[in-house]
Structure 1
Amino acid sequence: MAVRAVRGAVQLDRDDKTVLLDAVKELFNEVLEANELDRDSLISIIFTSTPDLRCGFPAVAVRELGLADVPLMCAQELDIQGALPRTVRLLVHAETGRAKSEIRHVYLGGAAALRRDLVPIPARAAA
């Protein structure tokens, strides 16, 4: 087993606590699923949010999912002009047998623009 870091981000439609909690829960679950991680493999999670999000702490979302024994930390992103607004990022540290090249980072909604190199291009619908 190795310790790996998995990144993820989601952009919210608005600064609203329910929207924040739902989006972070979705992001967290997608990160676990995409990397075949179980909760016992998690070491720690760091959350950041842009300064325009003031409605709540992203870590509350995973606590509501029952994750009580993993250290969580929230921080504020740098306030950089032109940065993607209303964005929550996470950095999950976990034990896994996956190689670095097999780690799947997850960017949902408008946050996909942050790392187009890591977000799969959706298949075109059949004509």
Structure 2
Amino acid sequence: MNSATTESSTISPTVIPQISYASALALEVRDLGGGERLLQREFLAELEQLNKTAPAGTTWRLETPHELFALRSPLTHENANKAHSIDDSIKAGWYWTSEETPWFEGGRVVVGFDLGYVDYDLAGYRAFARAVRVVGQ
């Protein structure tokens, strides 16, 4: 991570309202890390900071694997970011989810929007991360 990124580790102002296709909840979405790929410790620290400044009852969290997987599109469709997603804010690449891997300590489930895979990555890998919270909590 370069010094410019470290100094500007404030919460990204990008807020995208959307309906979760997996849960039918209205969600507020923020890209973590300024939309760059992050290590687990980086997005966890940013989520912690975001929740310290959030009003009571508005907990931010990572998207679940089901919420992210519901944003996939057929491999014949690409959004504006060259990702296979119905959401134009999704970039091609892996996204961290809220689910830790019980079969591998330090791992976390990831959803890919370049080829549509669901897999897991280790703490030392980088992936995109988005914080969500239910609107109207």
Q: TM-score, normalised by structure 1?
A: 0.30
Q: Which has the higher contact order (CA 8 A, sep 6+)?
A: 1
Q: Which structure has more helix as a fraction of its residues?
A: 1
Q: TM-score, normalised by structure 2?
A: 0.29
